[in-house]
């Protein structure tokens, strides 16, 4: 039942690819996600106009 939701036709190929990656390389995905979160926090702290630190 779960696989139906994961590979549902309405899902984009990117989503399926990302899910595939999560299963194959969980550590890589985790570090990418952490990087994304950190970047978002930096943006919120610094504001859009200032350079990232």
**pLDDT tens for the 53 residues of the chain, in order:** 444 445 555 556 677 777 777 778 777 777 888 888 888 888 877 766 655 55
How far apart CA 21 and CA 9 sit, in angstroms, is: 18
| Cα 33 to Cα 9: distance, rounded to the nearest angstrom | 25
pTM of this prediction exceeds 0.75: no
pLDDT of residue 52: 52
């Amino acid at each position: 039942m779960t696989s139906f939701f994961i590979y549902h036709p309405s899902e984009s190929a990117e989503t399926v690819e990302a899910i595939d990656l999560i299963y194959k390389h969980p550590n890589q995905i985790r570090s990418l996600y952490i990087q994304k979160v950190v970047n978002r926090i930096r943006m919120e702290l610094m504001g859009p106009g200032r350079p990232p630190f």
